[in-house]
Amino acid sequence: MGGDEFACLVRHRDTSGKPLEMAQSIIQAVAKPIQLPGGLAEVSASIGIVTANPECGSADEMLRAADFAMYRAKRDGRSNYSVFAPEMAAEMRRRAALELDIRAGLHRGEFTPFFQPIIALATGEVIGFEALARWRHPELGLISPDVFIPIAEDAGIIQELGFALMRRACCEARGWPPHLTLSVNISPLQLNDQWLAQRVLQVLCATGFSAGRLVVEITESRLVSDTQAARAVMLSLKSAGVQIALDDFGTGYASLKHLRELAFNRIKIDRSFTHNVHATENAQIIQAILNLSDGLGLPVTAEGLETEESAEMLARLGCEFGQGYLFSPPVEPARALEIARNGRYSADGAPQARGDRIQRARTFRYGS
């Protein structure tokens, strides 16, 4: 069907488990390691299953349904299968509509970065900002990246969207005092582009923002195992002076391997650990992460700090930087500039920690 997509047509009776059994055995057969001259290769497959019935539309529609089920399987983790359920049809239409709208919004320039300050916990000084994407939808208002990033990834437009946002963020950040850094999130999928580093440098060149002030954040939990390609891209970025942060640390599964192989410059502790620092388990995990990063000589930022208490506790444990509603929610560029010029967080003059009012995935309903 595509470069690495195949379709199987299977005759079976409605209630037989045959397609599921077949899917299982295909997955197992594909997963067998293959001995190549250079070493063992491992491949995984994800399978979507749809059964024809009298209500089914055209062959094309069935293939789209199977494709949708396959993406579900992929999302649930590789080497999985998923059966298309009728409820998915509405979801599929909604996503298709949303995808069209994202493309249009991209061309209309509706995607824009908000900025959340990152604070030195010991002094309260602002050391930089993280850019967080927002979609200023003409009818629906501000929409969260949780809604549109996964769709942009599936639709193959994450690279275009990511760079449009990065360009805007660099333009805004140019106006800040020159010691402040700008962190941008990139999707792990963007690492598949072998020219990623060159494209980033192009943006820096075009906007006049210096490489040494840019931090690229990569989410740990979705960093793929194909570290060869990722490493090459990250090395090019690093040799240009760009820093790389491992985002949401603690939520992935191969943390230590990644840290070593991919030579990150910074670590961000996921907010699930900092949210309740008093849970003994969280405190122990935080301590372990700080010990580890200390050993590796990597500075750490704690995400999701909402209370003075948690910020104090993290500072005491030796965490250098923090970020969260306690200091400020992600704010519009103009407000970020004010915070940047002000340069410091103080408990009384704290920017209101209300959280930004945006539509998140849980509550978001599109066109239905």
Site residues for Mn ion per CB under 5 A: 185, 217, 247
* Cα–Cα distance, 342 to 118 (Å, whole number): 13
- Identify the sign of the CA torsion 134, 137, 142, 146: negative
Pick from 88, 21, 95, 89: which is nearest to 8 by CA? 21
- Residues 32 to 61 in contact with ligand G, rule: CB under 6 A: none
- Binding-residue pattern over the window 149 to 188 for ligand G, x denoting contact by CB under 6 A: x------------x--x-------------------xxx-
Contact range with ligand G by CB under 6 A, out of 55-63, 76-84, 288-296, 322-330 = 322-330
Nearer to Mn ion among residue 101 and residue 248 (C-beta) = 248
Nearer to ligand G among residue 80 and residue 144 (C-beta) = 144
CB of 150 to ligand G, least distance (A): 9
Nearer to ligand G among residue 82 and residue 144 (C-beta) = 144
- Binding-residue pattern over the window 66 to 95 for ligand G, x denoting contact by CB under 6 A: ------------------------------
Nearer to Mn ion among residue 220 and residue 247 (C-beta) = 247
Contact range with ligand G by CB under 6 A, out of 194-202, 297-305, 309-317, 342-350 = 297-305
Asked whether position 248 contacts ligand G by CB under 6 A, the answer is: yes
SS (H, E, C) 153-164: HHCCCHHHHHHH
Asked whether position 282 contacts ligand G by CB under 6 A, the answer is: no
* Cα–Cα distance, 204 to 246 (Å, whole number): 21
Q: Which distant-in-sequence residues (6+ apart) come within 8 Å of 177 by Cβ?
A: 340, 341, 343
Question: What does 271 interact with, of ligand G, Mn ion, none (CB < 5 to 8 A by kind)?
Answer: ligand G
Asked whether position 333 contacts ligand G by CB under 6 A, the answer is: no
Site size with ligand G, rule: CB under 6 A? 22
- Residues 257 to 276 in contact with ligand G, rule: CB under 6 A: 271
Q: Which residue type sits at 8?
A: C
* Residue 48: strand, helix, or coil: strand
CB of 201 to ligand G, least distance (A): 18
Apex 126 CA angle, 121 and 128, nearest 5 = 115
* Cα–Cα distance, 267 to 274 (Å, whole number): 14
Q: Which residue type sits at 215?
A: V
DSSP result, 260-304: HHHT-SEEEE-HHHHTTTTSHHHHHHHHHHHHHHHHHT--EEE--
The answer to whether residues 181 and 210 touch, using CB atoms and an 8 Å cutoff, is: no
- Out of 67, 172, 220, 303, point to the residue binding ligand G (CB under 6 A): 303
Contact range with ligand G by CB under 6 A, out of 3-11, 63-71, 249-257, 323-331 = 323-331
CB of 272 to Mn ion, least distance (A): 14
Q: How many helices (H) and strands (E) does the chain have?
A: 12, 13
CB of 252 to ligand G, least distance (A): 12
The answer to whether residues 142 and 358 touch, using CB atoms and an 8 Å cutoff, is: yes
* Cα–Cα distance, 268 to 88 (Å, whole number): 35
Asked whether position 322 contacts ligand G by CB under 6 A, the answer is: no
Q: What are phi and psi of 196, to 5 degrees?
A: -55, -50
Nearer to Mn ion among residue 185 and residue 243 (C-beta) = 185
Nearer to ligand G among residue 66 and residue 186 (C-beta) = 186
* Cα–Cα distance, 112 to 169 (Å, whole number): 8
Q: What are phi and psi of 224, to 5 degrees?
A: -75, 165
Asked whether position 306 contacts ligand G by CB under 6 A, the answer is: yes
CB of 132 to ligand G, least distance (A): 4
Contact range with ligand G by CB under 6 A, out of 24-32, 71-79, 140-148, 223-231 = 140-148
Binding site for ligand G (CB under 6 A): 116, 132-133, 144-146, 149, 162, 165, 185-187, 247-248, 271, 303-306, 324-325, 330
